[in-house]
Structure formats: C-alpha cells, structure tokens
Amino acid sequence: MKIFAIIVTYNGMRDEWIPKCIGSLRQYAENVQVVAIDNGSADGAVEFIKREFPQVKVFENGKNLGFGGANNIGIRYALEQGADFVLLLNQDAWLIRQNTVNELVRICSENPEFGIISPVHLNKAQNSIEKLLLKRFVLLNKVGNWCEINTELVNDLYFKTLKDIYATKYVNAAAWFIPRATLETLGGFDPTFFHYGEDDNYLNRLFYNGLQLGICPKLSLVHDNERPRPLYESREQEVLWLIEFTNINKKINIEKEIKNCRQKIFTNTLKMNKKRANYWRELLAFLQKNKAAILESRKTNMKKGKNWL
C-alpha cells in the first residue's frame, strides 16, 4: 500500500505551519511518503524542510504556480510512483491523532462510491469545527430560499449513532484523501483557477462523474484557516463566476450569456438603474475575457482521464 501526502508550500514558516504539518505526518503517519511542492518561498521554508525532514521529496518551482498547479506536480509524481492513495494536505493543516491516515484508508476502501473523503477540520485551538466547513457540512445546499439540512447527520448526532462517513456537498481541499481511481478518472486541478475556486471546480467534476464527497466525523485534524483572506476578497465575484460558468453539471451557452448581458445592460440603463447596469457590464467583460478558457475547461473536464497532469 503506497500513500503519498502532498503539501504545497509558500512562505509556510509563518506560525510554524510547516514544522507542525510535516512534523505531524512524521509523528502520526510514518507509512506516508511526503512530497513538498514549493511555490517560490522566500522565508527559508525549503532549506528548513531539507535540513529537518531530509526524507521529504521536494520540488522547487522557483515561482508561484498557484495551489492547483503545484498540487498537480505532486499528484503526477505520486501516480508515477504507484500511489494507491493521495492525501492533499495544506501547509496550515496538521494531524493531531494516531491512525488518522490508516482509518481514512479503511473508510475509503469500504466505501468506493466516495471519490474524496476528509476528516473534520478543527480550528487552531481545537475547540471548534472550522466555521466554513460546519456551515456547508450541516447545510448541504440551498433549494430556492431554503437550506437543505443534512438530516441524517443531525439524527445520528442526537441519538449518538455516528457513522464513519456522510455524504456532503463541500469540503475545502485542505485535507482531501483521494484514491488512485479518482485521480485516474478526473485528473488534476484545472489550471483555469490559479488560487481559490479550484476545489469547487474539482468537486463539480467529481459529482459529474457520479462519485460522492464524504466527511468522516470520527476523524479530525487542525486547519488554521480562520483569518482574513484579502486575495480572495479582492476577487471574490470573479472566482464565483468562474466556478459557475465552468460547472459541467450545468448546460451553459456562453454566447447566449453574453447576449443576455448586453440586453440587461440596455434595460437597466433605460431604467436608470446604474448599479445593476454596472453589474452586467462587469459580467460581460468577464465573459469576453475568459470565454476561451471557460470553453476549454468545460470541454476537457467532461472527458475522463488524467486531465491537466
């Protein structure tokens, strides 16, 4: 059984993330082969890894390839080395218990309908579930103006009969445990996404191929993620549009969308609704700029295989 942990590093000595992350794998998962993909760190991260963890395979990109692009290097390497499972682990995440990885292997093997599984992500203080995960795990999705509750989870929590795994709609890629079969079906991350949104896109492809996403409530790790995200906040709308228009579970005609934008601009301008007219102008500019990339993304991701690797 070959298990590879892939960690994308970028100035990860902050708050001792890298020592905690890789150190936890050495402490709690000795059977895991660790691969670090560095995106041009300038804080001594690479030198630290080579000195303190010489058994780690390090790839030095020399520049920032983004989260998905760097992970693709590690995934490709792991598959070439015969990996049976790949654990994608953020540099700001770390294991806190023995046998977490062994349990992930067991649960994944016993539930082949799940293409990706993950432990519960706790905050740094380990006194709360990561807020985004808690919201999107308990509230599966929105139906109109209503939220669909994960009633199976709520019921089992009440009666204290938790199962090993539950289907959900979203878990961020801070700690994805992926069997080889999933990677051979979906491939790597879509390079259309540089940073943020790549996990949403990957999950849309997972569901398109009839696989499920699972979370394991009896397993947990730390994800030190509850902090401001200025890069995301500065381009949140663009990321959301990119997720929406590359979603291969929806039929989308880009030319019709562009035509609709022009009509909305005209209508809202006549109505003197400047705010709405500006929104449609921004969407029109986005679609015109990203049309080719969106079409290529949708075309490629509808195919099975080691796409993007």
Task: Please state the domain extents for the chain.
Answer: 3-121+163-225, 233-301
**For residue 143, is pLDDT > 70?**
no
Residue 251: burial class (beta carbons within 10 Å; 0-12, 13-18, 19+): exposed
What pTM value is reported for the model?
0.94
Mean pLDDT of the 192-210 span: 95
* Single-letter residue type at 234: S
**For residue 233, is pLDDT > 80?**
no
d(CA 149, CA 142): 9
Find how far residue 258's CA is from the centre of its chain: 29
Report pLDDT for 135. 66
- Report the 10 Å Cβ neighbour count for 287: 18
Determine the length of the chain: 309
**Alpha helices, DSSP H, located in the chain:** 17-28, 45-52, 66-80, 100-110, 131-138, 151-159, 180-186, 198-208, 230-234, 236-245, 254-270, 274-301
**For residue 228, is pLDDT > 90?**
no
Range of 134-138, 228-232, 264-268 with top mean pLDDT:
264-268
d(CA 22, CA 49): 9
- How confident is the prediction for the chain on average, in pLDDT? 93
- Report the 10 Å Cβ neighbour count for 134: 13
Report pLDDT for 133. 72
Residue 159: burial class (beta carbons within 10 Å; 0-12, 13-18, 19+): exposed
Report pLDDT for 151. 82
Mean pLDDT of the 119-148 span: 76
Query: For tokens 């700029």, what's the residue?
Result: 289
Residue 149: enclosing H or E segment and its boundaries?
A: strand 146-149
Mean pLDDT of the 27-52 span: 96
Annotate 226-267 with DSSP letters as a single string: -S--HHHHHTHHHHHHHHHHT-TTS---HHHHHHHHHHHHHH
φ, ψ of residue 257 in degrees (nearest 5): -65, -40
* In contact, 216 and 110? CB cutoff 8 Å: no
Find how far residue 105's CA is from the centre of its chain: 19
d(CA 228, CA 208): 32
Per the model's pLDDT, the better-predicted residue between 74 and 130 turns out to be 74
* In contact, 215 and 111? CB cutoff 8 Å: no
Residue 195 — pLDDT band, cuts 50, 70, 90?
A: confident
Per the model's pLDDT, the better-predicted residue between 73 and 146 turns out to be 73
At the fourth CATH level, the homologous superfamily of domain 3-121+163-225 is Spore Coat Polysaccharide Biosynthesis Protein SpsA; Chain A (3.90.550.10)
